[in-house]
Amino acid sequence: MNSSDEIKLLLSKKELFLFDLDGTLFNTLGDLAPAVNYAMKHFGLSTHSVDLIQTFIGNGALNLVRRAIAAHFIKNDLGEPKKAGGGCDFEKSIREEKIVAEVLTREGYTEEKIAEIYKVYTEYYWDHCTENTEPYEGVLESIKKINAENKRAAMLTNKPFAPSKKILQKFGLENAFAVILCGDTTPERKPSPAGIFEILRQTGVAPEKAVMIGDDTPDVMAARNAGIDCITLLEGFGKCENLLPLEPRYRVGHIKDLVGFSLQ
């Protein structure tokens, strides 16, 4: 973790704050998990614990569904961990794109079949995406404070636009961001830097005046690929064992820890 003085100094130099959504600004797990399990059950696959589904999150909703499907079979191969963090081989496998692809191919899950499952997941999630989702402590106040200080907030998420907009509208944040780029509206999804470059272009802010704030590997890598600073949240949806090997320069525990620094 960085000292509060280091974080305060960093934030004082920034004019643009780019936020991830899931696990950064909002705890969306309470709606994501039921949607995943609804789709799994609909197609005769095993459901997963909420803690386990958290480990599937990252790189967009389609990858979430792909991992959930593959996990049904990887459980049989390696055994399901009794709790999050309790099955290193399992959790490592489910985050490896190559392993997931191999399992899906082996079990006959074509892209067309995966798309059918994804469609069921999407329709359910979009209908229920605000039922159990809440902003983390201090988030609403912080976004308002950024705007009040004549600085700017932006959102860069791999989540599709429709549920993102619905969540923002529920909490009165639909007009709080200078730019909102989502998984289906950004030039390329994180970890590509393309979304960051587009936000910088639209806002006219120099890279050195911008900072990405996110909780998972795609956020860290997108910022790194774009050449901007990043504050990595170690207590979001991402896992420390995946984040720490990236050696992120600026680290805090949770988004609420930034509230004390006023984000200004």
| Pair (34, 24) in one structural domain | no
Q: Does residue 86 lie within any of the structural domains?
A: yes
Q: What is the mean pLDDT of residues 218-232?
A: 98
Q: What is the mean pLDDT of residues 74-91?
A: 63
Q: Does residue 114 lie within any of the structural domains?
A: yes
pLDDT at 221: 97
Q: Does residue 264 lie within any of the structural domains?
A: no
| Pair (167, 111) in one structural domain | no
Mean pLDDT score across all residues of the chain: 92
| Pair (231, 196) in one structural domain | yes
| Pair (49, 117) in one structural domain | yes
Tell me the per-residue pLDDT of 119-178, one tens digit each, with 9 for 90 and over.
999 999 999 999 999 999 999 999 998 998 889 999 999 999 999 999 999 999 999 999
pLDDT at 256: 87
| Pair (47, 150) in one structural domain | no
Q: Give the total number of structural domains in the chain.
A: 2
Domain boundary among 128, 155, 184: 128
| Pair (155, 237) in one structural domain | yes
Model confidence band, residue 69 (pLDDT cutoffs 50, 70, 90):
very high
pLDDT at 83: 47
CATH number, residue 184: 3.40.50.1000
Whether residue 25 has pLDDT greater than 90: yes
pLDDT at 80: 61
Calculate the alpha carbon distances from 199 to 30, 158, 177, 193 in Å: 29, 14, 11, 10
| Pair (155, 247) in one structural domain | yes
Whether residue 85 has pLDDT greater than 50: no
Domain boundary among 128, 160, 185: 128
| Pair (205, 145) in one structural domain | yes
pLDDT at 260: 61
pTM, to two decimals: 0.91
Q: What is the mean pLDDT of residues 210-226?
A: 97
Model confidence band, residue 262 (pLDDT cutoffs 50, 70, 90):
low
| Pair (215, 164) in one structural domain | yes
Q: Does residue 104 lie within any of the structural domains?
A: yes
Q: Does residue 247 lie within any of the structural domains?
A: yes
Q: Does residue 227 lie within any of the structural domains?
A: yes
Domain boundary among 76, 98, 128: 128
| Pair (138, 212) in one structural domain | yes
Q: Does residue 101 lie within any of the structural domains?
A: yes
| Pair (22, 151) in one structural domain | yes
Write out the residue range of the structural domain in which residue 12 sits.
Answer: 4-28+133-259
Higher-confidence position of 2 and 201:
201
| Pair (124, 181) in one structural domain | no
Tell me the per-residue pLDDT of 172-193, one tens digit each, with 9 for 90 and over.
999 999 999 999 999 999 999 9
Whether residue 264 has pLDDT greater than 70: no
